[in-house]
Amino acid sequence: MTPALDRLPQAERHLLRPARAAPGTPMLATLSARRDFGEGWIFERKLDGVRVLAFRHQTEVRLLSRSGRPLNATYPEVVEALAAQDCPDFAVDGELVALRRGRTDFALLQQRMGLTTPRAVSASAVHVTYYLFDLLRLDGYDTTRLPLRDRKALLRDTFTFRAPLRFTPHRNRYGPALLDEACARGWEGLIAKRAEGPYTHRRSGDWLKLKCSGNQEFVICGFTEPAGTRVGFGALLLGYHQGDRLRYAGKVGTGYDTATLRSLRRRLDELEQEHPSLPAGEVQERAVHWVRPELVAQVAFTEWTTAGLLRHPRYLGLRDDIPPHKVVREQPAGRTR
């Protein structure tokens, strides 16, 4: 047992178990409108990137996306930094981001996502940062039953944080100005976490997303033709799953540069189909090109209208770490104590 684990109080050492081989799925936060928090919560910056679980056993390091896809070839600098750590056995959870002037930039990260050849990766000018915020395994022991505060303390004490690795700091108290300050700094929002809570491999109310504005993933169900001098397409038609059917969320026509319009149109043409991907009557657009609902887009918006459509949506990029069938409308929990 490592010195860091040895320093745990006896009651908490009893919570340790031999680590299992399977990595499991990541713990997910629940969108919430709650703004009233007492003691027992910590607050981290909500990062706009891709979720990455990292595992090391002796000299082998593995990076996995939220859906379990290998990412070693895309982010070799992160693999190298984890392989250089003194501890030879661990599993960590974190968010991989691209930063522009101190702010996370999902569109910038898009330029690295999907690159897998050494030549393409080395030629990319996009530098990534891996923010670590949880520790799931250490020295052969499963640490997920430990309180979050202890897991973060172990994480901070065990790792050497040099670029591209960063520790995710937190605040211990929530005040009315905390979320306002985060939004003013251009952050996505905050993640509120129950300080004594365990790590569970599912979506949980122990982690809450406090967002500055609407931002979630949607399934691309179709597109319209471009007008005037525009190239590629006019707008993407978006949907989300409600039970076993897709529901219309509106269209997004902003947030693209010319290169994105052209490249995305090529991908959409390969997916085109004759029959609608959304229920008849929900879409009022004319001359729609329907596509198989296989692509997932990240979209920012101000709010949902009373008609159930997005207000002022803006395209941020494609996601390849979330299966289309898992895309649902995020419903915030109420403002509770």
Write out pLDDT tens, residues 93-127: 999 999 998 889 998 999 999 899 999 999 999 99
Does one domain contain both 135 and 240?
Answer: no
Residue 132 shares a structural domain with residue 169:
yes
Q: Are 279 and 239 in contact (CB under 8 A)?
A: no
Count of beta carbons in the 10 Å neighbourhood of residue 212: 18
**Is the whole model's pTM more than 0.85, yes or no?**
no
- Phi, psi torsion values for 135, nearest 5 degrees: -125, 120
Residues 147, 239, single domain; the answer is: no
Does residue 65 form part of some domain? Answer: yes
In angstroms, rounded to a whole number, what is the distance separating the alpha carbons of residues 259 and 29?
Answer: 33
Longest CA pairwise span in the chain (Å): 70
On the question of pLDDT at 336 being above 50, the answer is no
Mean pLDDT across the stretch 151-160? 96
Span 29-49, average pLDDT: 93
Residues 185 and 67 in one domain: yes
Mean pLDDT for the stretch of residues 325-329: 95
The tally of CA atoms less than 13 A away on the side-chain side of residue 337 is 2
If we measure between CA atoms, which residue out of 140, 20, 144, 121 comes closest to residue 71?
A: 121
> Which structure tokens are listed for 326?
């898992």
Indicate whether 336 belongs to any domain. Answer: no
Shared domain check, 153 and 63? yes
Are 205 and 273 contained in the same domain?
A: no
| Residues 178 and 240 placed together within one structural domain of the fold | no
Query: pLDDT band at 337, cuts 50/70/90?
Result: very low
Which structural domain range is residue 269 located in?
Answer: 214-326
Q: What is the pLDDT of residue 185?
A: 87
Last-in-domain residue among 181, 211, 241:
211
CATH number (domain holding residue 180):
3.30.470.30
Number of continuous H segments (helices) and E segments (strands) in the chain: 8, 21
Do 88 and 106 belong together in one domain?
yes
Q: How many residues does the chain have?
A: 337
Q: What is the pLDDT of residue 214?
A: 80
| Count of domains for the chain | 2
State the average pLDDT for the chain: 93
3-state secondary structure of 290: strand
Active site (annotated) includes residue 152: no
Q: Looking at residues 146-172, what average pLDDT do you find? A: 96
Q: Which of 211, 236, 252 is the last residue of a domain?
A: 211
**Mean pLDDT of the 235-260 span:** 95
Q: Do 168 and 108 lie in a common domain? A: yes
Q: Give the rounded percent of residues in the chain with a pLDDT score beyond 70.
A: 98
Same domain, residue pair 144 and 66: yes
Local confidence band at 334 (pLDDT 50, 70, 90 cut-offs): low
